[in-house]
A and B are shown apart, each in its own frame.
Chain A
Amino acid sequence: MSVDKSTKAARGTVQCENTNINLLKANDYVADIIKSEMKKNKTLLINVTSSAGSGKTTLMQKTAEKLKDKITMAVMVGDLETERDAERIRETGIQALQIVTGGICHLEAQMVHQVLPEYQLENIDLLFIENVGNLVCPASFDLGEDYRVTLMATTEGDDKPKKYPRMFLTSDLMLVSKSDLLPYLPFSVDAVIKDAKEVNHQIEVMQISALKDEGIDAWCDWLLEKVKQKQNN
């Protein structure tokens, strides 16, 4: 059988283009816009991440109670469904808006940017983003935050930093939460700190119990210091 040479020649050539485009370029572009908005308004932006049920919302409530007379703070909270968390935080008297992701397991910069016009940033010293409870996907998405804070509840077990390394590698502070339960749990604070530091030797660590008001003053002092630095910059 004869081969039609003309069609054969037309197919074989492949043209290559070498690139180095970041897969999350779209996200990071928006994250940069958020960053410059925050810089302009001197608003400290903190991305709070953790597993589901480790106490992020309770910490937001407690922090609001302690700091609302000293600084202006607001919260943006992401969940797959319901407005329950935002309602809980609003009860403390601060502004809190819910982002319902409708099934998406993390917040993306675009979602945060869409909600920003609802906040009067020029009057806000500290804005928290309470991320969706998940130690995997939120780690990859930069939201333009100044600091990333990860809660690690004693009820989760002390083996999490090595299981979810990217989250701990990209966090600035690890809060060991629900510390009031330590006497009842096989959880070693030393072991969790050792693992977290092996992943990220610069990570700061604090121990807190939002429910029993333990370590919360130190956490609030940390925040106030960062707010001050942001405003002097």
Chain B
Amino acid sequence: MHETSIVNSIMKTLEVEFEEEKLNKMIAIYLKVGKLSNIEPRLLHNAFTAKHYCGTKFHHVKLHIESTEIKIQCESCNHITQIENYKFTCENCHKPSKNLIQGEEMLIHKIEFND
């Protein structure tokens, strides 16, 4: 259910960001979603496809989703740790940290237009 909200939000955002003429030339949207973002790429694809059937301006657009790992940077030793098992601890100095540098993002990071 929340994937549908996210698809709506993507469409609204792009409609604000780009002019009609440009939107019609759009051929692909590239998303970056972190493993902590609670977005399931497959469900988001389904929600996006389902939206096409409701007739949107985006029926000719392809959606690409890249899933990114969870990473923290330690505040004490600056070491970067990739988080496994949701244990938010620096692997170098073993201090707990919430300083996320990757994994929470939900970004539209690239858009392709047909010229």
**Chain A residue total in the interface (Cβ 8 A):** 35
User: Nearest Cβ distance between residue A173 and chain B, in whole angstroms?
Assistant: 15
What does DSSP make chain A's interface, helix, strand, loop or mixed?
mixed
- Does B113 contact A15, Cβ atoms closer than 8 Å? yes
Q: How many A-B residue pairs have CB under 8 A?
A: 106
For residue A16, CB closer than 8 A to chain B, the reply is yes
Give chain B residues whose Cβ lies under 8 Å from the Cβ of A17.
Answer: 110-113
Give chain A residues whose Cβ lies under 8 Å from the Cβ of B96.
Answer: 197-198, 201
Interface size class of B (residues with CB under 8 A): 35 or more
Specify which of B17, B27, B38, B86 is in contact with A21 (CB 8 Å cutoff). Answer: B17
Q: A26-B13, A105-B2, A166-B38 are in contact. Are A19 and B111 (CB under 8 A)?
A: yes
For residue A14, CB closer than 8 A to chain B, the reply is yes
Pairs across A and B, CB under 8 Å, 23 listed: A15-B113, A15-B115, A16-B111, A16-B112, A17-B113, A18-B109, A18-B110, A19-B17, A20-B107, A20-B109, A21-B13, A21-B17, A22-B107, A22-B108, A23-B9, A106-B2, A137-B2, A137-B5, A166-B37, A166-B38, A169-B98, A201-B96, A202-B98
A-to-B contact residues, CB < 8 Å: 11, 13-27, 103-106, 108, 136-137, 139-140, 162, 165-166, 169, 197-202
For residue B88, CB closer than 8 A to chain A, the reply is yes
For residue B80, CB closer than 8 A to chain A, the reply is no
Q: Taking CB as reference atom, which chain A residue is nearest B95?
A: A201
Give chain B residues whose Cβ lies under 8 Å from the Cβ of A18.
Answer: 109-110
- Does B36 contact A162, Cβ atoms closer than 8 Å? no
Q: A14-B112, A104-B1, A137-B2 are in contact. List 16 more A-B contacts (CB 8 A).
A: A11-B114, A13-B114, A14-B115, A15-B112, A16-B112, A18-B109, A19-B17, A19-B111, A20-B108, A21-B108, A22-B106, A103-B1, A104-B2, A105-B1, A108-B5, A166-B36
